[in-house]
Structure formats: C-alpha cells, structure tokens
Amino acid sequence: MKTVTILGATGSVGTSTLDLIEREPDRFRVVALTANCDVTKLAAAAIRTQAEFAVVADEKCLPALREALAGTGIRSGGGGEAIAEAASSGADWTMGAIVGCAGLKPVMAAIEQGGTVVIANKEPLVSAGDVILAAAKRTGATLLPADSEHNAIFQCFDATRPERVRRIILTCSGGPFRDWTTEQMRGVTLEQAVKHPNWSMGAKISVDSATCMNKGLELIEAARLFPIAHDRIEIVIHPQSVIHSLVDHVDGSVLAQLGPPDMRTPIAHTLAWPDRMATPMAPLDLVAIGRLDFEAPDPVRFPALRLAREALDAGGARPAILNAANEVAVEAFLQRRIGFLEIAAIVEHTSSCYDPAVPDSVDAVLAIDAEARILAGERVKDYAV
Ligand SMILES: NC(=O)c1ccc[n+]([C@@H]2O[C@H](COP(=O)([O-])OP(=O)(O)OC[C@H]3O[C@@H](n4cnc5c(N)ncnc54)[C@H](OP(=O)(O)O)[C@@H]3O)[C@@H](O)[C@H]2O)c1
C-alpha cells in the first residue's frame, strides 16, 4: 500500500488527486491533507479518506477545523509549521498542489523526506529551481511532474540520452483570448478571464492561462526539469489541448503524448509510476475530435511569453521576480483592482527595476519574492481603479 500526502487537497489538482485515490482504497492510504482555509472541504476529505492529519495554513481556521473533526480521531493542525509537519509526514508519495510560491517551503519539507514528490505547483520551481533540484539530489527524492505538458515530456524524453533530443515543443491552448486583439483584451472581465475553453482549474492558473503567463512559467519549469538548452524549448499554440507536448529527436522522430484535458491522467501517471493505473476517463476519440490545429504564439499580443523567456535567459533572481510580480498582479486582477493588460505591465515594470544577487537558498529566494511583491504592490496602486 502506498502512503499519500496531498498539499493543497481542497484545490482543483487536490480534488482530482483525491478522486483517483478514493477509487482505489486498497492501493493508497492517506497520511496528511492540507488546505489554506477551506475547512468544510478539507474536513470532509479527511473523514472520507480516514486521513491521519489535516492542516489549515491559516491559523484562524484551526478552531473550525478542530470542531469539524471532533470525535473522528483525525489530528488537526494550523499554520506554517503544521503544514511543514504534514509535508514531512514521510509519505511514499506527496502531491505539491498549493498555489503560488506559498508552496515552496512545504515542497522543500517534502523533498527532505526523500520520497516521491509530485510537482503540480509550478511557481516554486520557477522561483527556486536550482535550490529545489539541489535538495532533491542531496536527499534522493524523486521529483515527478504533474503539469500536463511536463508530464507529457517526461513520458517522451529519454533522460539517459538527452543528446538525442533536438527540441521540446510545449503546447499551449492559447486561452480564451487567443484570437482577440490587444484593444479587445483591454476590456476583459474577471468572469471572461477565468473561463478556460478546455480545462477546469483554480482561479490563479486560469488567469495565467488567459495572459499566457502560465505557458511562460511552464517554459521556465521545462528548462528546470529537462536537460536541454533554453532555445530548444519551443511553444506552439494547439487550441484543442489534446497533444500535451512533444519531444523532437535528432533523427526527425517526434514523440507526443495525447490525452483528454483532464488532470487525472497526468496525476494517475505519477501515482502509479513506473507502473500504470486505470482512470475513469473515456478513451480518446480521435474521430470525434476530427482535427488538431497548430499556430505560432504571438508574444506581442501576449507579452507574458516574452517576459518569461527574458527571465529564463537572464537567470539568477529574475524568474523569482517575474513570478512574485505576477502573483501580486493576478491577485489584484482577481480583486478587480486592475485591468487585464496591466498584469503583464506590472510584471515588466517590477522585472526592470529590481536586480538582486543570485539567490542560493530558500530564505534568499523568499527575501527576493517578498521585495518583488512590495514593488509590484506599489505599481498596482498606480493602476488601481
Ligand atoms: N488546476 C489545474 O488543472 C493545474 C494544472 C497544472 C498545474 N497546476 C498548478 O497546481 C497548483 C494548484 O493549482 P489549482 O488550480 O489546484 O489551485 P486552486 O484550485 O486555487 O487550489 C489551491 C490549493 O492551495 C491551497 N492554498 C492556497 N493558498 C495557500 C497558502 N497560502 N498556504 C497553503 N495552502 C494554500 C488552497 O486551499 P483553500 O482551498 O483552503 O484556499 C487549495 O487547496 C498551481 O501551482 C497551478 O499552477 C494546476
């Protein structure tokens, strides 16, 4: 039986993970589940799965969690240390599905245990890639990518022969505004931005998909995870989201991974890896899909693509600054304080006015993250309506 901990169990990825685990109670045993403050969902999941430990990051929500779990025998906890304790629970398999750089310390705590750590939470890898990879190497933890694109590449990329890979091609749906002009995007509402054409996801990643910053973050994530030069990672718009990414080899063979736009497929791959497990998804019906389209991305209408590429090439602290500024700007957009186009403008401004030393530890990354958030927050005030 595989023991499992889910960091971010109440979110979109966390819920998909629970769905798979609960279908096979003889195969998986839940050790710990965490949330920020969604006590109702967390307590229900902990009771259903008979988890040992349930934790809210927001300590104000701990009394409600205690009450919801009273008499169940499930231990409860609240705050950053309790989240770290859950991440350090020694589970065989830990899902990192917290949103944003808030997931960095928990993911690092899981890596210290040396088990399998599954990365859905891409922001820590963007901000602190070198630090995370060094920790995994030191502890022997196995990192598996759950992001559908990176999971697709992982399935196609022979890591023992990286010199035989010519290119990685990351596919991108293009989001809800793929065909819109910049002028049209100026008036985008929150409701339009969070309505992804193919995927059902949390609010932050949905907005990132709409600005194409999600693909920019994934570009940096791919550069962290796979041994290939940055300029050999390309992005192609593929509106149907059926091909999740491709690996092009020196002999001209291109391997692609296809599947439904449902996170349960890549999560199941990491849950069973190196084996396979059944999922409830219907077989892919290529005849019904009919056609697969491809287009070049447009970094002029979607400047986030350019900003992420520049941050990747600049290296050092730049990806952490890009990510922190983007988190602040997206949050401001979600609160209806700024317009859609201002998200990329705030990221660009913050990236251009802050140039700290290269971070070499989690604390150094978090200090840069904090400063970039202050600078981006100031810029939000300039734009705020
Ligand atoms: N959704 C997808 O299809 C998808 C695909 C690929 C990658 N990802 C990545 O996976 C991560 C999660 O995405 P999601 O769509 O599942 O997000 P989501 O639905 O917003 O869920 C986020 C989870 O993180 C928890 N959380 C939020 N703030 C926290 C904090 N400060 N400390 C601890 N926990 C916190 C939330 O708890 P509450 O519910 O209590 O707020 C929730 O459990 C993101 O990094 C995203 O980029 C998502």
The pLDDT value given to residue 197: 87
**Ligand 1 — pocket residues by CB below 6 A?**
8-14, 35-38, 57, 83, 97-99, 102, 120-123, 147, 199, 201-202, 204-205, 263
pTM tops 0.85, yes or no: yes
Top mutation candidate among 20, 36, 265 for ligand 1, by most atoms within 8 Å of CB: 36
H runs (alpha helix) in the chain? 12-23, 39-49, 62-69, 80-87, 104-113, 122-139, 148-156, 182-186, 190-193, 203-211, 213-225, 264-272, 286-289, 303-314, 318-334, 342-352, 362-383
Structure tokens at 82: 């309790």
Query: Is residue 2 scored above 90 in pLDDT?
Result: yes
Query: Is residue 250 scored above 90 in pLDDT?
Result: yes
Are 64 and 71 spatial neighbours (Cβ–Cβ below 8 Å)?
no
Contacts of 165 (CB under 8 A, 6+ apart): 157, 158, 226, 228, 232, 247, 248, 249, 250
* Mean pLDDT, residues 141-169 taken together: 97
* Mean pLDDT, residues 97-115 taken together: 97
3-class SS of residue 122: helix
Going by C-alpha positions, the residue among 222, 245, 28, 252 that lies closest to residue 119 is: 222
Tens digits of per-residue pLDDT, 305-359? 999 999 999 999 999 999 999 999 999 999 999 999 999 999 999 999 999 999 9
* Mean pLDDT, residues 134-138 taken together: 98
Terminal Cα-to-Cα distance of the chain (whole angstroms): 54
Percentage above 70 pLDDT, the chain = 100
Contacts of 113 (CB under 8 A, 6+ apart): 87, 88, 89, 90, 91, 94, 139, 141
Mean pLDDT of the chain: 97
Ligand 1 atom 3: the closest Cα is on which residue?
201
Question: CA-CA distance, 313 to 162, in Å (whole number)?
Answer: 20
Query: Is residue 385 scored above 90 in pLDDT?
Result: no
Ligand 1 atom 26: the closest Cα is on which residue?
36
Tens digits of per-residue pLDDT, 263-285? 999 999 999 999 999 999 999 99
H runs (alpha helix) in 122-199? 122-139, 148-156, 182-186, 190-193
* Mean pLDDT, residues 291-296 taken together: 98
User: Please, which residues bridge with residue 249 across strands?
Assistant: 165
Question: CA-CA distance, 260 to 14, in Å (whole number)?
Answer: 18
283 CA to centre of ligand 1 in angstroms: 28
Query: Is residue 293 scored above 80 in pLDDT?
Result: yes
Query: Is residue 141 scored above 90 in pLDDT?
Result: yes
Tens digits of per-residue pLDDT, 164-222? 999 999 999 999 999 999 999 999 999 999 998 888 899 999 999 999 999 999 999 99
Which atom of ligand 1 lies closest to the CA of 98? 24
